[in-house]
Amino acid sequence: MRHAYRHTLVLALAMLLIPYENMAAAIPEATHAPVDAAAPGRADLDTSWAQVLDEKIPIAQRQQALSRIEQATQTGDQHDLYLLGSLYHMGQHARGSFVQPDLVRASLYLGNAAMRGSVLAMAKMAEIKLAMHEYREAMNWAQIYGHYELLLPRSERPHDGYAAELVRRIADKLGRAAMPEIMSDVNSFLASNDAQIRAGTDSRFAAEHVTPAPKSKVYLPPNGHFAPRAGFADYLLAFNADGSLADMWLLDAVPNPDLGMTLRRYAQEMTVPPMAAGKGSALRYAWMPVMYDDGRYRAGVVH
């Protein structure tokens, strides 16, 4: 029965991801931020993120750290645009977060991240538009996500089950009669923005190489609740000098915030190589999305 269900979802995705040819009409573009050459480095920003997410730090200090991050996004870096959008998407559903959920603000940041090549931001834009009952825009973004996630290297590609479920959840609300017009919107968007998106997708951020390697593993959801069949969650991991995990913080999870608690146990298994002798003992940070599909867990692209 499980295999039949998954087969049905993949077929649903295949029927809706029709070719992007001879299309016109537009999807509203995200606002582009100005460039500031004096932006802080990745390590400084990750330290600020740890301060924002750490509930043991005084609220005033955490607010100052968030202000530094928001200022840094003026460079238009897809990574921090994505993370800020995720922060405002999840809000206080994440344990210890002091930020109120704000879907409008989240969509501004995530829309900009998507335009700069963040594939997971495209998925979250679809989730936000679905939550706001803007079903046509949700399907636009779901189709854009489906297009670009298939172009990623196989090792970095989200599971197809999530894309199929995302399309199906939107189609249940929207129906299929609007699909020809939606695909017209999608193709117009791709024609106008593909070069910019691909250029962003090709960029890479410095990363810690966490272990174990991506794998499949089944966990029971907490408190006896059933987790969604597919989704993903974003975590910031802090590592000691010996490579062991010092701390971790959940930033966001889709389609259900509770999924973040289920996937947390998998993220807690990560380690990094030890620091070389004489290199100090400061914490090292890595961002990691954890993908979930039909009971299987694996690490996504680590920043």
pLDDT of 64 reads 96
Average pLDDT, the chain: 78
* Chain segment 145-165, per-residue pLDDT in tens: 998 888 887 777 776 778 888
| CATH architecture assigned to 2-19+28-33+76-201 | Alpha Horseshoe (1.25)
Give residue 103's identity as a one-letter amino acid code: L
Ordered by start, the domain boundaries in the chain are 2-19+28-33+76-201, 222-299
Q: Which one, of 285, 46, 295, 1, lies nearest residue 161 by Cα?
A: 295
Q: What residues does 291 pair with on adjacent strands?
A: 232, 298
* Chain segment 74-115, per-residue pLDDT in tens: 888 888 999 999 999 999 888 788 999 999 999 999 999 999
pLDDT of 210 reads 59
Q: Which one, of 271, 187, 263, lies nearest residue 221 by Cα?
A: 263
Higher pLDDT, 59 or 2: 59
pLDDT of 9 reads 28
Q: What is the pTM of this model?
A: 0.78
Contact 124, 206 (CB under 8 A): no
* Chain segment 240-298, per-residue pLDDT in tens: 999 999 999 999 999 988 888 888 888 899 999 998 887 788 899 999 998 887 555 55
* Chain segment 205-238, per-residue pLDDT in tens: 344 555 654 444 444 444 444 445 789 999 999 9
What is the third-level CATH fold of 222-299? TolA/TonB C-terminal domain (3.30.2420)
Residue 219 buriedness (CB in 10 A; 0-12 / 13-18 / 19+): middle
Asked if residue 188 has pLDDT above 90, the reply is: yes
pLDDT of 28 reads 37
